[in-house]
Every structure is written in structure tokens, then in C-alpha cells.
Structure 1
């Protein structure tokens, strides 16, 4: 189990037990790290996942509104989505890939002509970050998973966005598992960057069918090329 998942499990347990309620503030990073015996980056990653799933809202600074606040009713379906997130490490990679193809091809088809220029620009910023020279492979894969979650959110369907956010770790996990099977990373990274750009361009141009075709080829192509298929 990844260390940030320990934090997620604790938050989920506190929600279920009523120790955390709507409007409550999570302890600070330092306090949570000390309580659970994990690193502060692990706490930060867990909070980022919780925020992406709509369980908490965060605000920076040191004032009374700073930190992470519970904004989802503990009895809401979002807690089930959190459990789905924690269970994804046990899912077969082939099933994850199939689910991604179904969700993301539908999402980009719906997003075409619907996504605003600002939303497209926000997704493009993740691609810009992936273009950074000498970007560590681990960072590339994290941004890759983040981009696909952002891409799915462009459709405007809250449930699809939540499911994709809960699959984020599974996406990152199987990509990391595939990495050692890729002998020459540089041309593969170049190809993935180009494919990401093409999918986003099709969405921005309002060509949903092309976007759906490209994203399916992109997901399945990497899976097969990494010899996981």
C-alpha cells in the first residue's frame, strides 16, 4: 500500500465513525504526518486526491479559512467513490484499460464543442508541464494521469469525473508497472506528448468522433506497446 493511501484510509474511517463531519477542518500536514507516521508529501498527495473527488476543499495561507475542510456529506456517494479509489490497486490492468477507453472516449466526444477555451487551456497547461526538458519519468507519469482526469472532466459529467479521479492511482500504477518494459523512453515520451496534443486539439475543434478515436488508440496503444496486453 502506498503511504498516502494510509492517510486516505484514516480519513475515510473518521468520516464513517462520525469523527469528521461536514465543515470540519482536517489537521495540518505536519500534525497528520506525525499522527500516522508518514511523510508530509504523502499527506499532501492524499489531500489532493480528496479534493479532486470533492470530499474536501482547500485554501492556502495561514488564516482561519486555510487548510482542508470537509465539504461532502459523509453519507454521500462520494465516500463510496473513495473506497473505489482504494480498491483500484486490486483490479486487473486489462479491466482498467477497458474502463478508461469507455469513459474517456465518451467524455471527449461529449466535451467537443462543449469545453470552454479556459478549460482547454487549463488541460493544455498540464501538457506544457510535460514538455519540460529532463522531466523525471515519474513526474511525467503523474502529469499524464492528471491530464487524463482533466480531459474526462471536460464533458461536465460529475459522476464520470469522480470515477476518473478515483481511478487516478490505478492509471498511474499500471503505467509505472509498464515503464521498465519500455526500452527507449525518449521516443515513447515524444509520441505520447503528440498524442495528448492531438486529442485535446480535436476536442477544442469540436470533432468529438476524432477525439474519441484518438484517445482510444492512445490508451490501448501504450498498453500493448508496453507488453502488458
Structure 2
């Protein structure tokens, strides 16, 4: 956090501070929940007076970009928002076919995003992605599906940042929030499905390798194939769950019926 703010070199006005913080939020450098340095430290980094800083922070808070917690500091507000209203999200959750429309949409968007990332990723972007991929390998080796699912979102978010397109970045973050909230499906369940964890890791590595190599077409294709696999695996997992549910119901019903038949046979034997 200490290195992202730059000295206000000219008029040292509150407007210049507001513009700098807004740009850091827009570019995804400052994210929801990030805490700003204390007033004294931040005024030092910006090289402005504390009254000017207070004026800037007040403006940012009025615009809904910052939130203050009494005695706890100043934080980036929840600026992502929801792409759907609560009633629509609940409607989607009740009608499973929306899940596959979501995955179809993501197939296209993820492909474009990966292609941009391959063309535009900086060394810092590549280092960030490399660290996430390494963490993915560790989670896979540890057989930790919850951690794998968490890193999955982190990986795709980092690709969105590496694409260096502000609209894509914030659109994807909103989409991933729905995913994290479990509106569409349980991400960990995908990793727990037979053999999928290994395949998903391989696919993420393929996307990463293409981005690092600057291969836009390769990155796009790898991302699209990855999303197709996710959709296919989700269908298979849901079908397997349905089979298990129906089989269990049959078993329970047969057990009840078998008990009834036994009773009937015993009654008939006694009468004979």
C-alpha cells in the first residue's frame, strides 16, 4: 500500500487527490475492503496537508467509494455491485438452466480476456499469475478442493487484470462475485468430481503458458476449452447426483416393500 500513492506535485488540491484514488480504484489496484494508510501517513505520501486530505476523503466517501469505520480506519467501499437484482439472482438459483447460459457467456468473455492478457500482460502480471498457479499446484497436491476453488476465481481475476481493459475487469469481478456466492453452482463440487481436479489444473496451466508466451490465439482457445470442460463436468456431476438420489429412494422404498412382503409371507405361513 505504501508504494501505490504518488506525490501530488502541482496545486496540491483535494481534487487531485480524489482523481488519484479514483484511478487506483478504477484500475483495480485498490480493491473492495482494502484499507488506506492512516491520515498522517497518507498525507505524507501524497505530500499534502491533512486538511486537504480530509476534504478529499470526505468527497470520496460521499461518492460511495470509501467507507469509514469508527476507530478502525478508512476502507475501499463495495464498488463492484451486483449485475443482477436480488429477486433475479433468486430466480436464477431456482432455475438451473440459467447456470449453463452463465457458463456459455463466460466461455466467450474468458476467451477474449485471455487473448488480451496474452497481448498486454506485463512482467508484474505474469509474476502474479505464476504465484497463483504455484498455489494451485500445492492445493491440488494437498487434495484441498475448497482452496482449489478459491484459487480458481483468483486466477481468472488476475487474468482480467492482465487484460488491462477496465470494463472487462469490473464486469468479470461482478460475475465472479455471483460465483463466489454460490448463485450458480458449488465450485468445490466441480473439483471433487472424479478426475476433474487434475484436468482443471492442466487447463489453468495451459492458459497461463499461452499468456506468458504472448500467444493470444492459444490463450483464447485454452480459456474456451476450459469453460467447455467446466460446463460438461457440471452436467455430469449433476446427473451423477440425480442417479444417486434416485437409487437411494429406490433402495429405501424396496426396503419398506421388502419388510411388508416378509410380513405378508409370515402371516400366510401361520394361516397355512
**TM-score bin (small chain):** 0.5 to 0.7
Structure 1 alignment gaps of length 5 or more: 1-21, 23-50
Equivalent residue number for residue 82 of structure 2? 83
Output the CA distance in 2 between the equivalents of 1:225 and 1:207.
Answer: 27
Which residue of structure 2 lines up, in the alignment, with residue 170 of structure 1? 178
Separation in structure 2 between the aligned mates of residue 85 and residue 119 of structure 1, nearest angstrom: 30
CA distance in 2, matches of 1:183, 1:110: 31
1:121 aligns with 2:127: yes
- CA gap of 1:79–1:179, structure 2 versus 1, over 3 A, is closer
- State the TM-score, normalized to the length of structure 1: 0.62
Higher Cα Rg, which structure: 2
Q: How does 1:192-211 map to 2 (within 5 A)?
A: 192-211=200-219
CA distance in 1, matches of 2:222, 2:136: 19
Backbone CA RMSD of aligned residues:
3.6
Alignment of 1:124-135 (within 5 A): 124-132=130-138, 133-135=141-143
Q: Is 2:149–2:188's contact at 8 Å kept on the other side of the alignment? A: no
d(CA) in 2 for partners of 1:111 and 1:219?
17
Say whether residues 1:157 and 2:165 are aligned partners. yes
Deviation at 1:89, TM superposition (A): 4.3
- Report the count of equivalent residues: 174
Give the structure 2 partner of residue 189 of structure 1: 197
Q: Which secondary structure does the structure 1 equivalent of 2:81 belong to? A: helix
* 2:64 counterpart residue number: 74
Q: Secondary structure at the match of 2:35?
A: strand
1: distance between equivalents of 2:33 and 2:191? 37
1:137–1:178 Cα change, 3 Å: closer
Q: Could you say which structure has the greater relative contact order, defined with CA pairs below 8 angstroms and 6 or more residues apart?
A: 1
Normalising by structure 2, we get a TM-score of: 0.53
Q: CA deviation at 1:59?
A: 4.5
The alpha-carbon distance between structure 1 residues 56 and 181, as it changes in their structure 2 partners (threshold 3 A), is closer
